[in-house]
Amino acid sequence: MRVITTTEELRAFSADLAKRPFAAVDTEFMREKTYWPILCLIQAAADGVEAIIDPLAKGLDLAPFLDVMTDRNVVKVFHAARQDLEIFYQLANEVPAPLFDSQIAAMACGFGDQIGYEPLMRGLLGASIDKGSRFTDWARRPLTDAQLSYALSDVTHLRDAYPLMQEKLTSQSRGHWVEAEMEALYDSGLYHVKPVNAWKRLKLKGVRPKELGAVVKLAEWREKEAQTRDVPRSRVLKDEAIFELARLQPKSVKELSRARSLSSGFERSSAGGAILDAIKEGAAAAPSDLPKISRAERQKPPGEVIELLKVLLKRQCEAFDVAPKLIASAADLEEIALSDEADVQALTGWRREVFGEAALKLKRGELALKLKNGAVELIET
């Protein structure tokens, strides 16, 4: 097993990877106690070459490998890429490209919603993965051979599975489906949250207009604090505390002390004063300066329509052998129930062909659902 601990070794390995058309990549990291992930291992494998890179090795410069990550001639293959891409974006200030996410591709190939790595490899390769090292503290050294073998298997199996998935996508003429999904992963905004946009991580359903300013400003303050102190957001302020404080809108330390979601004495800390300032600023914000709440968050969608849309979505996904989450989320269905012009992906491109057009016809009464022999059929009316 090749474990790279020097820049010279990494330069040679990276040069080998750069000669291959694709490379499977994975990372092991820790972030339970931090805001920014701590990179502990990088695993990479391509045709005829594989290795583990130890980013914690003294003096190791990751630059040669980061060059491969942005080499347009090498496809980077990940499984559930989002968190891995966040790490590489933080290191290189650039999103790796081009990309292939096997979890997204699996949804287009009929493997279900957000399938895990182990069941996907078992389904594609018949591979059995020993999970004994799954909960390793990857920051500890030395790592055992079993732990390193487990880490490396995450990319050696992925390397073997990638051509099979490409072949399956090509045979089903669904390559363009996955390419469209990959485009979304290149958005750098996914990997670095600007504090001013931190409110987007919250579910605003039920938030009243007069509370919105406080929610936005509290989320912004929390994000700044978490990034500055390098601690998880929840260590600064939990989501439920943001919503409670936005409802209460305390104007003094005494009023702040009544918030049940805050620990005793919190109101007297410097954070307590900052929270009061954020709430005051949010309350004074002009409506035009605040985000627009989606229609589904402003009003309750008709439940009967949503239930019918769920049945239709399940039926269409079974007919086309594609995962429902790749077509439409629960929020998308709520938006469609409220408006035929909903700004959701389910009403655009190939998703509209698979589901969106039928959903609109169902709403208009131009399409009916019929149960026959336990299966749902579509009837044009």
Report the number of distinct structural domains present in the chain: 3
pLDDT higher than 80, residue 83: yes
Lowest mean pLDDT among 62-71, 105-114, 130-139, 353-362: 130-139
pLDDT tier at 357, thresholds 50, 70, 90: very high
Please name the residue that has the structure tokens 């931190």: 198
Residue 108 tokens read as 């287009």
Q: Are residues 274 and 173 in the same domain?
A: no
Q: Are residues 91 and 42 in the same domain?
A: yes
User: Is the preceding omega at residue 142 within 30 degrees of 0, hence cis?
Assistant: yes
Measure Cα distances from 351 to 42, 150, 267, 312, 354 in Å. Answer: 35, 37, 49, 13, 5
Q: Which domain, by its residues, includes 284?
A: 195-289
For 57-116, give the DSSP string: STT---HHHHHHHT-TTSEEEESS-HHHHHHHHHHHSS--SSEEEHHHHHHHTT--TT--
pLDDT tier at 381, thresholds 50, 70, 90: confident
CB 165 within 8 A of CB 109: yes
Strand partners, 53: 4, 42
pLDDT higher than 70, residue 213: yes
Q: Are residues 232 and 308 in the same domain?
A: no
Contacts of 121 (CB under 8 A, 6+ apart): 127, 129, 157, 158, 161
pLDDT higher than 70, residue 108: yes
Task: Of 315, 319, 313, give the one whose Cα is nearest residue 331.
Answer: 313
User: Phi and psi for 76 in degrees, rounded to 5?
Assistant: -95, 120
Q: Which of 289, 317, 349 is the last residue of a domain?
A: 289
pLDDT higher than 70, residue 295: no
Q: Which of 136, 159, 190 is the last residue of a domain?
A: 190
For residues 77 and 320, give the distance between their C-alpha atoms in angstroms, rounded to a whole number: 25
Q: Are residues 270 and 325 in the same domain?
A: no
For residues 168 and 188, give the distance between their C-alpha atoms in angstroms, rounded to a whole number: 30
Any idea what the CATH number is for the domain that residue 236 is in? Answer: 1.10.150.80
Can you give the pTM of this predicted structure? 0.88
Task: Of 320, 66, 264, 85, give the one whose Cα is nearest residue 186.
Answer: 85
Q: Are residues 201 and 326 in the same domain?
A: no
Predicted pLDDT of residue 88: 97
Please name the residue that has the structure tokens 């509370």: 211
Residue 205, Cβ neighbours under 10 Å: how many?
Answer: 13
CB 274 within 8 A of CB 221: yes
Predicted pLDDT of residue 130: 75
Q: Are residues 51 and 127 in the same domain?
A: yes
pLDDT higher than 80, residue 62: yes
Q: Which of 289, 313, 340 is the last residue of a domain?
A: 289
pLDDT higher than 90, residue 79: yes
User: Is the preceding omega at residue 98 within 30 degrees of 0, hence cis?
Assistant: yes
Q: Are residues 179 and 90 in the same domain?
A: yes
Q: Are residues 319 and 178 in the same domain?
A: no
**Average pLDDT, rounded, for the chain:** 94
Alpha helices in 208-302 (DSSP H): 209-229, 233-236, 239-248, 253-256, 270-284, 295-298
Q: Are residues 173 and 304 in the same domain?
A: no
For residues 80 and 66, give the distance between their C-alpha atoms in angstroms, rounded to a whole number: 19
For residues 183 and 179, give the distance between their C-alpha atoms in angstroms, rounded to a whole number: 6
Lowest mean pLDDT among 58-67, 158-167, 368-377: 368-377
Share of the chain above pLDDT 90, in %: 85
Q: Are residues 59 and 145 in the same domain?
A: yes
pLDDT tier at 373, thresholds 50, 70, 90: confident
Any idea what the CATH number is for the domain that residue 93 is in? Answer: 3.30.420.10
Task: Of 330, 305, 311, give the one whose Cα is nearest residue 375.
Answer: 311
Predicted pLDDT of residue 374: 85
Q: Are residues 90 and 179 in the same domain?
A: yes
User: What confidence tens digit (pLDDT) does each residue in 110-133 have?
Assistant: 998 889 999 999 999 998 887 767
Q: Are residues 37 and 141 in the same domain?
A: yes
Query: Can you tell me the mean pLDDT for 151-166?
Result: 97
Any idea what the CATH number is for the domain that residue 375 is in? Answer: 1.10.150
